Structure 1
């Protein structure tokens, strides 16, 4: 699996558009998203195993509820799975939790991005619940992966992004607005 310090792979994927535009139907609901989309911004890319499942919409909806907070931090939020854009659209239409989704749903149908990242489940052939925070230069600054049966905490991803953007030493459970560690002060106090 690619990890901190690795370049996030180049990609060019079909996606269901965010917001109401994503519900306009085939031919109108889709767009292409590449690694150059939102150039110069931080990117948070999270993967789920399959559409029309139980844990996935809870995570997707929770990430989407934080979309404005990610945007306030100059970060683009993308969700992805190995399902097609047509399946994504159908799922949005039929699931109230994600119908008004404020983020694009990327379709990694050829599994090229999932494979390049090293996040395909060996038994199921679908993406694991992986999350990547990528800096504006395209370098992975944080990577996390859960098994297929355990959801993640989008609020924690936001906290990690905040910490990364300080470019300082942030202690355990640090939250935005708290003081970062000052090693010189620690040594002087000793």
Structure 2
């Protein structure tokens, strides 16, 4: 899994968004920050808690110029049915990408071969289509959208401030570091 600093592969699929089916491709990401949020399947247990948490933070992500794409190997029709039947999923405003062939899931190397399901994988992609951060968790471990937002802020900060890096647990507005020979052994 050496995907950090690699460009995402081309894709084209149908998504459910805002009550409609829309076509989405890698071309739609050009010039924008994006989060790809893979999950195993619709109508499951941990997945709706994660997707609902992400929905609660979607407006703030959008205010930072970030588009969110949730992805499972379900179809866009299944996403619509889930959206229509669950209050938690019903609040989602971001794209829910259908990936029934598994192409996108394999492109991001999170396919559980033999099961046809995605692992819980989160990827932050910069405006050039390059993966800047990723997180993979086991089946029973849900992700935290607040921590994802913190990572997005750090990725955007580092991208706009060459020569600076964000230390552990960095929060927006806190001090950063400027790596240099003078810092070696002093932290």
Same fold (TM over 0.5): yes
* Paired position in structure 2 for 1:11: 11
1:65 maps onto 2:56 in alignment: yes
Return the alpha-carbon distance in structure 2 between the equivalents of residues 149 and 183 of structure 1: 37
* Paired position in structure 1 for 2:133: 142
* Paired position in structure 2 for 1:33: 24
| 8 Å Cα contact 2:75-2:99 kept in structure 1 | yes
The alignment's C-alpha RMSD in Å is 1.9
Query: Which of the numbers 46, 53, 58 marks the counterpart of 2:44?
Result: 53
| 8 Å Cα contact 1:43-1:77 kept in structure 2 | yes
Return the alpha-carbon distance in structure 1 between the equivalents of residues 150 and 91 of structure 2: 25
Q: Which TM-score applies when normalising by structure 1?
A: 0.89
Unaligned runs of 5+ in 1: 23-28
Q: Which TM-score applies when normalising by structure 2?
A: 0.90
Shift of 1:73: 1.4
* Paired position in structure 1 for 2:74: 83
Corresponding residue SS for 1:133: strand
Give the paired residue count: 181
* Paired position in structure 2 for 1:25: none
Query: Which of the numbers 128, 150, 167 marks the counterpart of 1:171?
Result: 167
Per-residue deviation, residues 114-156 of structure 1 (Å, max 9, x unmatched): 1122111135220000011011001110111112221111111
| 8 Å Cα contact 2:120-2:136 kept in structure 1 | yes
Unaligned runs of 5+ in 2: 159-163
| 8 Å Cα contact 2:112-2:118 kept in structure 1 | yes
Return the alpha-carbon distance in structure 2 between the equivalents of residues 120 and 184 of structure 1: 40
More strand by share: 2
| 8 Å Cα contact 1:130-1:143 kept in structure 2 | yes
